[in-house]
Amino acid sequence: MREEDVDRLRRDTPGTDAVVHLNNAGSSLPPRQVTDTVLDYLREESVRGGYETAAAHADHIRGVYDGIARFLGADAADISVTDSATRSWQAVFYAFRFAPGDRILTGRAEYASNAIAYLQIARRTGAVVEVVEDDESGQLDIADLERRLDDTVKLIAITHVPTQGGLVNPAEEVGAIAERAGIPFLLDACQSAGQLDLDVRRLRCDALSATGRKYVRGPRGTGFLYTHPRLRERLEPAMLDLYSATWTAPEEFEIAPDGRRFETWERNYGLVLGLGAAVDYARRVGLPAIEERVTALAARLRADLSQIAGVTVHDQGKRKCGIVTFSVAGTEAAEVQQRLAAAKINTSITRPTSYQYDQEVRNLPAMVRASVHYYNTEDELRALTETVERLA
């Protein structure tokens, strides 16, 4: 990505004038095109009426599905638009019907929300949750995954990029194994969508969930879901309404055949259009270019932090992305974050309660998480490392 391209992207991002934003794995700064789309719709709705405005923008709203489909290498019929990554993921997971002895395979990088859902279903149904080990690099061990497969495995569900570091799990290899075995594969792409070049055909996943607010740079309160037809046809959602199904007779209903089966009637169409604007913006920038720049900036930040005495960088895996986690000896993560915030540098903290499967092996402290995006600059990374160096 050329310097002039970065300058242009920063001009589209008003927040870069006010803060060094290195919390993109939490919630990115949106480009002005996204904010303007949401506000323009809400203003129109306030003078025209909610139903009337939605009807006037029906083609534009349908276009959001087309844009997300192109973003993921899917068909528009495979896309559901929701209000969060969690809602997307849960819409698929809670549609499975588990029985005693059924096995759910996941990884050590799994996020708390997903793990809690596994445990709830295990208690409710007698299903068993198994954690696949990591290999020597820290990523999910493909060989261990294959060793665990048999007819009792009903779902493979992993997190692509965890909350606690820059690891990128080998999702394409997992997808190939799951497809050969005929086992559904659910991929949580909450933190990879928008920073990595995702293609569901390469990933071979049966379902993929994501959010708008993180690397996609969309509004909060938005998410999306991809489901392959081979999975949709065998799942009945846990909840239905008059949008996800049609009441065809007093005692009959038909579930929508496409991604609408995982949606509900009510939604904030201003946010939906904002999500569409964010996806279109990312596609114009280009996912390969985004991935290349984000990965390079994070690698630079890891290298610079590693040179500071007393600082430990905790990222692992053969492949790494735009998330950098670190700790400072003798200084709590909260204090480091506060000192950075005082210098107008946004970061976040990731705590062991969010990654218990990983924690039981690695015994990690609470860590500062700095997550870069393509609009960040080397000068901004230098501002972070200089502040951390004064603390160490």
pLDDT per residue as tens digits for the range 150-206:
999 999 999 999 999 999 999 999 999 999 999 999 999 999 999 999 999 999 999
pLDDT at 128 over 90: yes
- Torsion of the alpha carbons at 16, 19, 22 and 25, rounded to the nearest 10: -80
The whole-number pLDDT of residue 245 equals: 98
Bridge partners of 369? 325, 348
* Block residue for tokens 């820059």: 166
CA 190-94-91 angle, to 5 degrees, is 50
The whole-number pLDDT of residue 10 equals: 98
Average pLDDT, the chain: 97
Beta-carbon neighbour count of residue 217 at 10 Å?
29
The whole-number pLDDT of residue 172 equals: 98
The whole-number pLDDT of residue 392 equals: 84
Bridge partners of 245? 255
Which whole-number Å values give the CA distances from 93 to 153, 154, 246, in the listed order? Answer: 14, 11, 22
The whole-number pLDDT of residue 178 equals: 98
Would strands 311-313 and 323-328 be described as parallel, antiparallel, or unpaired?
antiparallel
Residue 169 has φ and ψ, to the nearest 5°, of -70, 150
Rounded distance between C-alpha atoms, residue 333 and residue 239, angstroms:
40
For the segment 325-335, the average pLDDT, to the nearest whole number, is 97
* pLDDT tens digits, 33-63: 999 999 999 999 999 999 999 999 999 999 9
Would strands 367-371 and 323-328 be described as parallel, antiparallel, or unpaired?
antiparallel
Helical residues (DSSP H) of the chain, grouped into ranges: 3-11, 32-48, 50-56, 58-72, 85-93, 112-125, 142-147, 171-181, 200-203, 229-232, 269-285, 287-306, 333-342, 356-362, 378-391
For the segment 364-371, the average pLDDT, to the nearest whole number, is 97
The whole-number pLDDT of residue 157 equals: 98
* pLDDT tens digits, 76-101: 999 999 999 999 999 999 999 999 99
Percent of the chain scored above 70 by pLDDT? 100
For the segment 304-329, the average pLDDT, to the nearest whole number, is 98
Q: Report the SS3 class of residue 98.
A: coil
Rounded distance between C-alpha atoms, residue 136 and residue 132, angstroms:
13
Rounded distance between C-alpha atoms, residue 388 and residue 305, angstroms:
8
pLDDT at 117 over 90: yes
Token pair of 31 as six digits: 């480009």
Residue 326 has φ and ψ, to the nearest 5°, of -155, 165
Asked if 281 and 31 count as a contact pair (C-beta separation under 8 A), the reply is yes
* Block residue for tokens 């509900």: 264
Residue 172 has φ and ψ, to the nearest 5°, of -65, -40
Question: pTM of the prediction?
Answer: 0.97
Single-letter code of the amino acid located at 388? V
